[in-house]
Structure 1
């Protein structure tokens, strides 16, 4: 049987574009050959890197770092990206369709539309957010030429597409109302690697993390053999009979993942942690906290410097870049997730929360328009508006940790709702919502 062909375009790091990788994985399972165009900066899914006969990666070259005024730099960068993307598209075998991630829409939508028009290829857009709303972050005047140009490109060339997907019902309505685009809602759902894990697997993870981060090392200093302990971490201990238990005085783990970009203000979390520190420092009712913030991005060094200047005795903060296999395990080993993604458009949802829910981890998420399509306050997590509310939620959740009996009913509700969320995974959700659209295009 002849395999059909699809091309996926990500004008960003492929490894940090999980949704587009999941698209590729699903297309492989439907007997497609897949070509992916984007930047190869971080590791991609094993199923893609190992399928060399069915998956071909076309790595783009980054625009060189040169000292230019921002508008001029954006212009030259767009020209560079246009040419490199066009060269990559010319090198591929004509596919049945091209699936484009937006943002960034400049110059992606223009270049891919041009290629699709000339080759009579179906042009499909997956709307994760808007380019123009991201460009508007921190810009005083929304009348800025670059912002207006980006919005015009998204409206003009988005309307020329053969089909569209989007991440929320709110975005579907906005695309219909303001862009005259009819999109299919394809909610993000966690693949199977994001799921709860056993205490045995948590202990293995903590032992591995202790090799790089002393915060995971055992602090008791006891003679292990005297107590029948074979090995120990700051959170768990394994006995000579093979059994593993949590330590009663273990720290609680909170986790947040980020791209360290302006649409996530980590100052909110740091202020909340300082308030937790100051108000619980001398209380035995509240545990120590181990805060894990994962990811890479432009503002990471800025926040690491801020963290280094904080005076904390009850809270430890680490900022690792985790191996792909370890990231789901860290989420599954945490006690609470934190999400500071507020959405430049107010129309997209944070995939990090989807991953946390897949692992059975409730979250505290900063509020924005349409967040209730994913996080429902008091049912699968908590919603906060500022650092004070987040700090109060941390204290409420962790008081008398790990046995806060006043939260038993709440935790039962969370467990029930998160299990329901986990019942629909990416594979089944994609098959139900995306495949009918893409299959009809590939039949032409």
Structure 2
């Protein structure tokens, strides 16, 4: 027994030694300090790798990190998948480069719980190989590695090991908890969820610092995760391309250019249409049936007892696994005549057009329910940046950190409550305009104002 254990330890230590010897040159912070060559300034640049185990184009917060670092003179390498186009400023900035990860085979993607327990480990193994190759061999060592979490598996383990071997400082940017999202699919008591909880709490301890999106999340990380490194709340704020359009005629002109408004342009010109917009990833943590049910109730009342109410065009942007399922429901409701005063359209837009859509709409809707209770939807931040008032699911702890009830938005906890808000706001009582003024005031709070004193200071850039 002892001999076998010794053999296993010997093999593991030998494998680790080989990995270390095969690694490219490590990051050596003192090398730049001691250099007296003409390119001293170039060597002293702060270098940051940003790892997104997801679509870079649909990771706005990580793109904002990259732009802020680059604007302050740092060198940035963004690592992730390309399923949609990143922000144009990302691809055009001389201080930012992109390294793409190889996507996992489509056959390893499934929503079936039984198959997930089989395909899941295979998908993780594939990601381990790709991440290790990228972080340890395909990219140069950097001073900092900023990791988006979740997903945590296998990112945190691979990031921790490569940072240790390459003298890189690891920073985790907490958007939510990986185990709480996994619990939506498998259930809170599933063994894989418990394993994921242990894993996340174990490997996050290797980070030199942590960012998180809410004060509530900071509290959980400090108390439940027992972190000794700094945990810094860094609230989401809108980027500069989200800005209000104050002139109503300009808003109408833009809406008329969209394919989604083709059937209702006459109502737009008359002012008898309200445009409702929502952005979704069509996943389990956003129950889209809440909005559909509320629109059905609105349509019924608007065609019977409240026939003074305007038509509603609901434009839903985004991509995701449950999209087709909901589209089938919408088509069935249209055929049955339950959406007489409501039109629902889905869209996928460029960054610029999405920002203009928000600024031109009447009301924004957030269906984000928060698997952990302490994260917040980025879509609401973007809506406020565009001066758009919001109604959103508010049954989680961190909601008041984002929305001031009755000032820039309203919360709801059921389709009935949402329908009541729609009836009130789309009625002619001035409440919607009051909320719009509150949202426009909120739009003055910008990403760089939040980022510079917190992240900029940590990275030594401000």
Indicate the TM-score class for this superposition, using the shorter chain for normalisation: 0.7 to 0.9
> Partner residue of 1:225?
none
Give the counterpart of 1:298 among 315, 321, 329: 321
Give the counterpart of 1:364 among 391, 397, 400: 391
Task: Write out per-residue CA displacement over residues 211-245 of structure 1, whole angstroms, 9 at most, x where no aligned residue.
Answer: x6523433xxxxxxxxxxxxxxx413xxxxxxxxx
CA distance in 2, matches of 1:384, 1:424: 25
Give the counterpart of 2:268 among 215, 235, 257: 235
CA shift, 1:417, in A, is 3.5
CA shift, 1:200, in A, is 4.9
The alignment partner of 2:104 has SS state of coil
CA shift, 1:16, in A, is 0.5
Corresponding position: 1:85 with 2:131 = yes
Deviates more, 1:265-274 or 1:67-76: 67-76
CA shift, 1:379, in A, is 1.8
The answer to whether the Cα contact below 8 Å between 1:215 and 1:316 also exists between their aligned partners in 2 is no
The answer to whether the Cα contact below 8 Å between 1:13 and 1:42 also exists between their aligned partners in 2 is yes
Deviates more, 1:431-440 or 1:333-342: 431-440
Corresponding position: 1:206 with 2:255 = yes
**Where in structure 2 are there 5+ consecutive unaligned residues?**
1-40
- After the TM superposition, list the runs of 4 or more consecutive aligned residues in structure 1 that deviate by more than 6 angstroms: none
CA shift, 1:29, in A, is 0.5
Task: Write out per-residue CA displacement over residues 6-31 of structure 1, whole angstroms, 9 at most, x where no aligned residue.
Answer: 10000000000000000000000011
TM-score of the two chains, using structure 2 as the length reference: 0.84
CA distance in 1, matches of 2:231, 2:250: 41
Counting only pairs closer than 5 Å after superposition, residues 26-175 of structure 1 correspond to structure 2 as 26-51=68-93, 53-66=94-107, 69-89=115-135, 90-140=137-187, 142-175=188-221
Task: Write out per-residue CA displacement over residues 172-222 of structure 1, whole angstroms, 9 at most, x where no aligned residue.
Answer: 000000001241000000012111113454244223204x6523433xxxx
> Partner residue of 2:50?
8
Q: Please report the RMSD computed on the Cα atoms of aligned residues, expressed in angstroms.
A: 1.7
The answer to whether the Cα contact below 8 Å between 1:257 and 1:352 also exists between their aligned partners in 2 is yes
CA shift, 1:153, in A, is 1.7
> Partner residue of 2:377?
350
CA shift, 1:138, in A, is 3.9
CA shift, 1:56, in A, is 1.6
CA distance in 1, matches of 2:81, 2:225: 29
Task: Write out per-residue CA displacement over residues 345-402 of structure 1, whole angstroms, 9 at most, x where no aligned residue.
Answer: 00100110001111111111112221111112212111111000000010011113xx
CA shift, 1:41, in A, is 0.6
TM-score of the two chains, using structure 1 as the length reference: 0.88
Richer in helix (by share): 2
> Partner residue of 1:271?
293
The answer to whether the Cα contact below 8 Å between 2:386 and 2:440 also exists between their aligned partners in 1 is no
* Shift in CA distance, 285/375, structure 1 to aligned 2, threshold 3 Å: same
The alignment partner of 1:148 has SS state of helix
CA distance in 2, matches of 1:149, 1:365: 32
> Partner residue of 2:359?
332
* Shift in CA distance, 87/251, structure 1 to aligned 2, threshold 3 Å: same
CA distance in 2, matches of 1:397, 1:206: 20
CA shift, 1:277, in A, is 0.9
CA shift, 1:416, in A, is 5.0
CA distance in 1, matches of 2:190, 2:307: 53
Give the counterpart of 1:252 among 271, 274, 282: 274
CA shift, 1:415, in A, is 4.6
* Shift in CA distance, 399/183, structure 1 to aligned 2, threshold 3 Å: same
CA shift, 1:423, in A, is 2.1
* Shift in CA distance, 87/41, structure 1 to aligned 2, threshold 3 Å: same
CA shift, 1:71, in A, is 1.0
CA shift, 1:70, in A, is 1.1
Number of aligned residues: 405
Task: Write out per-residue CA displacement over residues 241-260 of structure 1, whole angstroms, 9 at most, x where no aligned residue.
Answer: xxxxxx24x21011110111
* Shift in CA distance, 133/117, structure 1 to aligned 2, threshold 3 Å: same
